[in-house]
Amino acid sequence: MSSTPTARWAATALAAARPAVFWTDTPDRPPAREALPGDSSCDLLVVGGGFTGLWAAIQAKQRDPGKHVLLIEARQVAIGASGRNGGFVAASLTHGLDHGAASWPGEIDRLLALGQDNLAAIEATVREHAIDARWEATGQLLVSVSPHQDQHVRASFDLHRRFGADVQWYDEPGIRGRVASPTYRCGFLDRAGAAVADPARLAWGLAALADRLGVRLHEHTELVSLSAEGTGVDAVLRTGRGLQTVRARDVVLGTNAYPPVLRRLRHFVLPVYDHVLMTEPLSAEQLAQIGWAGREGIGDGGHQFHYYRLTSDNRILWGGYDANYHRGGAVKVALEQRDSSHLLLARHFFQAFPQLEGLTFSHRWGGAIDTTSRFTPMFGTALGGRVAYAVGYTGLGVGSSRWGAAVALDLLTGEPTENTELTMVRRRPVPFPPEPVRYPVVAFTRREIARSDSTGRRGWWLTLLDRFGVGFDS
């Protein structure tokens, strides 16, 4: 192991970190709801107790309060990505303006407006229903931490300004004046680009809202199979009591990066493990050493990037960078702890904030990011239009999953809507190659991305992927 000061601080700081998700590791975690007690029927079956499923159930009830909505979750609400993410609630539906403007130039104005409306609607729900989501409308900073990120960050700023975003540029002294990191070279603040929140509390609050709206919500109830039956769908579910059947008119699948019951989705969504650290709360003196009075969510300009933010009790969440795809697309609890990724993150943390030497991490965890080759979700229907899905937010789904759920509900109506007419909704992403080719291709792409981050040059492989508008990201 390297004996640089940051490597030593990192090892010490990680020594007592709990291998658990900070957000859900709290005594006020709600008790589990009971599993579905027997066979049943409903108008709409929603599968998945993450943001997509919760918003689908809530919006279905808001559209038609008389509809019988049943939401099932294989384990517990917020056990998936929704309860273990960075808590950045971004306005973007397109994995950032840069990607959206390049991929859907003819629709980006519309997508931007839909994204801002979506973020406003989430905030309005939080406020109206007094959800204790620790919501902070902070905006977000994009910072450059290497010479070849400067140009990308500047170009992104210019693009945001061109599209009328409320942005502010900072050169080196300015950006370090906002947040005192010796790694910062320049950056910009996007004031309306994102809020930060406690994602598990947001999900729990949405589940409680769904209860109040009359949604029947059952945890520890897993969808096993779907089949067309008459004008509806028969869903076979597994609970501790064995197999049960639900007859539903319609189904929304919000199962994200988990092995999908609709096998066709396997071609399009990869589970990519991303890792996160949480520090102990900073003292007033430690906070004073880094500034950060605006409490913005922060990301750097690398393709392998770090994201970080303050929590309501002044911890720093620090995640990203070292995303890993595991052979065969495995999703399992054992993959959530990865010593090398956590150690690398901890080292990078002290490079960014050397003045915090001595600060320790309280929690370390990981989770599967729902990655598509175009970095935005994929939508569609199956079984004669009675099953709709919204999956694959590629690490930016805390906000956009509300919109994704609305798209799935729109698709079930069979009528064109403003959402369903969008190219991003109508077209599928390019599929990933199947295993055993998938793993080496993803590994090679990752290496090329790392090389591009250190040299500033895209290389032939990434240039080729760029030409087809496809890639690999988290």
Ligand X SMILES: Cc1cc2nc3c(=O)[nH]c(=O)nc-3n(C[C@H](O)[C@H](O)[C@H](O)COP(=O)(O)OP(=O)(O)OC[C@H]3O[C@@H](n4cnc5c(N)ncnc54)[C@H](O)[C@@H]3O)c2cc1C
Burial class, 428, CB count within 10 angstroms (exposed 0-12 / middle 13-18 / buried 19+): middle
Scan for tokens 């008119």, then name that residue.
Answer: 249
329 near ligand X, judged by CB under 6 A: no
User: What does the DSSP assignment read for 343-402?
Assistant: HHHHHHHHHH-GGGTT--EEEEEEEEEEE-TTSS-EEEEETTTTEEEEE--TT--TTHHH
Candidate segments 72-80, 149-157, 170-178, 431-439, binder of ligand X by CB under 6 A: 72-80
Residues 386-415 that bind ligand X (CB under 6 A): 393, 395-399, 401
- Cα 387 to Cα 229: distance, rounded to the nearest angstrom: 12
**Which residue(s) pair with 71 in the sheet?**
46, 217
- Cα 282 to Cα 395: distance, rounded to the nearest angstrom: 27
Question: If DSSP codes are grouped into helix, strand and coil, which group holds residue 91?
Answer: coil
Q: Pick one of 44, 276, 345, 407: the residue that binds ligand X (CB under 6 A).
A: 276
Residue 81 or 462: which CB sits closer to ligand X?
81
Nearest distance in Å: CB 364, ligand X: 11
Nearest distance in Å: CB 335, ligand X: 11
Q: Pick one of 107, 222, 250, 280: the residue that binds ligand X (CB under 6 A).
A: 222
449 near ligand X, judged by CB under 6 A: no
Candidate segments 30-38, 80-88, 110-118, 408-416, binder of ligand X by CB under 6 A: 80-88
Nearest distance in Å: CB 53, ligand X: 6
Nearest distance in Å: CB 61, ligand X: 17
User: What does the DSSP assignment read for 420-433?
Assistant: TTSHHHHSPPPPPP
For the chain, how many helices (H) and strands (E)?
13, 19
β 167-170/186-190 pair status: antiparallel
Position 143, amino acid: V
User: Are the C-beta atoms of 111 and 93 separated by less than 8 Å?
Assistant: yes
206 near ligand X, judged by CB under 6 A: no
- Cα 430 to Cα 262: distance, rounded to the nearest angstrom: 17
User: Which element (helix H / strand E) includes 223?
Assistant: strand 222-229
Nearest distance in Å: CB 73, ligand X: 5
Residue 114 or 462: which CB sits closer to ligand X?
114
Nearest distance in Å: CB 172, ligand X: 26
Residue 198 or 280: which CB sits closer to ligand X?
198
Residue 185 or 218: which CB sits closer to ligand X?
218
- Token output for 249: 């008119």
49 near ligand X, judged by CB under 6 A: yes
Candidate segments 33-41, 50-58, 138-146, 457-465, binder of ligand X by CB under 6 A: 50-58
- Cα 175 to Cα 423: distance, rounded to the nearest angstrom: 37
Q: Pick one of 46, 57, 72, 425: the residue that binds ligand X (CB under 6 A).
A: 72
Q: Pick one of 9, 22, 258, 308: the residue that binds ligand X (CB under 6 A).
A: 258
User: Are the C-beta atoms of 216 and 45 separated by less than 8 Å?
Assistant: no
Nearest distance in Å: CB 67, ligand X: 20
301 near ligand X, judged by CB under 6 A: no
How many residues are present in the chain?
474
Nearest distance in Å: CB 99, ligand X: 14
- Cα 250 to Cα 252: distance, rounded to the nearest angstrom: 7
Cis amide bond preceding 271, omega within 30:
no
- Token output for 384: 């004669």
b/e burial code for range 361-375 (CB count within 10 A of at least 16 → b): bbbbbbbbbbbbbbb
Residue 73 or 453: which CB sits closer to ligand X?
73
Nearest distance in Å: CB 75, ligand X: 5
Residue 189 or 272: which CB sits closer to ligand X?
272
Residue 179 or 246: which CB sits closer to ligand X?
246
Residues 90-149 that bind ligand X (CB under 6 A): 90
Nearest distance in Å: CB 125, ligand X: 16
53 near ligand X, judged by CB under 6 A: yes
Nearest distance in Å: CB 195, ligand X: 10
Residue 38 or 105: which CB sits closer to ligand X?
38
Nearest distance in Å: CB 77, ligand X: 7
162: left (phi over 0), alpha (psi -120 to 50) or beta: alpha
Residue 40 or 255: which CB sits closer to ligand X?
255
Residues 340-369 that bind ligand X (CB under 6 A): 367-369
- Footprint of ligand X on this chain (CB under 6 A)? 47-53, 72-75, 79-82, 84-88, 90, 222-223, 254-256, 258, 261, 274, 276, 307, 319, 367-370, 393, 395-399, 401
